[in-house]
Structure 1
Amino acid sequence: MPRVPVHTLDTAPEQARPVLETLSKRMGKLLNIHAEMAHSPVVLGAYAGMQDAIGRQGTFDGRTREAIALAVGAADHCDYCQSAHTAGGKAAGLDPERMLAIRAGRPSGDAKLDSLLAVMREAATEVGTVGDDTWQQAQAAGWSDEQLAEGFAHLAVNLFTNYFNHYVGTELDLPPAPTLPA
């Protein structure tokens, strides 16, 4: 059960409405996570600002962004984000088996991507710390210093949403992500 009620566009604080309208149009509906963030325009604004910076200045394609979100969501045990990014991954062209592998931390069939995801998983589970071996494997796979630094922005926005969902108890309003095999 959510700790804060889910706003509608009509009940949200006036300051949050323009951002909610933009997110609602982008997502095709007002998602519970955004409707709960609207209780604090600073939370909604921080999220939207990170997403805007990634959208304007980021270099990763949609598949890579969604793969990072899936890996971090799984590392953080965020069912909501795994569900949202399973839908996003499908829209970005990731096939279902690859998304399951990414969420499970198994090889996805793309060694370069897997090396980046190893950095993201390790940072998510080790409070930002990444071992030299993991970092160097990503560099050896072809990820530049710029890209590895950019990865932190993707990690941060995903940690932000994962933790927010845990913090307020966001209820799932999307199709659930497939269950990971044992």
Structure 2
Amino acid sequence: MARIYTRSGDKGTTSLIYGKRVSKSDIRVEAYGTCDEANSMIGLALSYLDSIDFADKPAFLSLFHEIQTILFHAGSELATPEGKEVLWAVKSEHITKLENRIDYYEEKLQPLKQFILPGGSPAGAALHVARTIVRRAERCAVAISEEVNPLALSYLNRLSDFLFVSGRYINHMLKKEEAVLHED
């Protein structure tokens, strides 16, 4: 395996897929970097579940492994210059699967009657943080939306919804109450 450092980015540039050099402050780099940040936060959230058991833990973790893979693919799409072939494309079935899981988890939860505050268990709180990071990735991706597969944008949008519901769901499974917004 090659060394992790290349020194090629020491002057503030980085390579997109296919080798095109751009500034590290380029919005495309911000977009795929933010996907990577979200993926790391999801990993942190899942690590909080290592020593905790709940009813559908294997299925929950398996789903999240798949989601992390698709999020990596979305980042790859964002790192692909316009006009070049995307190696791993987000597909409509990825979005449909998220929607189905959102519906499934929501059936198990109390309907929202007011805003909730992020928190609860460490895993639930971290999933709420991941949700906000995905929203930022989506905002960055919108800035280059003419150059990006619209399904990648839809996936990011739906993923943030999924992470919100998943944060609620894991708090429910771990019997952690949700804090509600007090209107003063």
Of Structure 1 and Structure 2, the greater helix share is in: 1
Give your verdict on TM over 0.5: no
- Tell which structure's C-alpha radius of gyration is larger: 2
Report the TM-score range of the alignment, normalised by the length of the smaller protein: 0.3 to 0.5
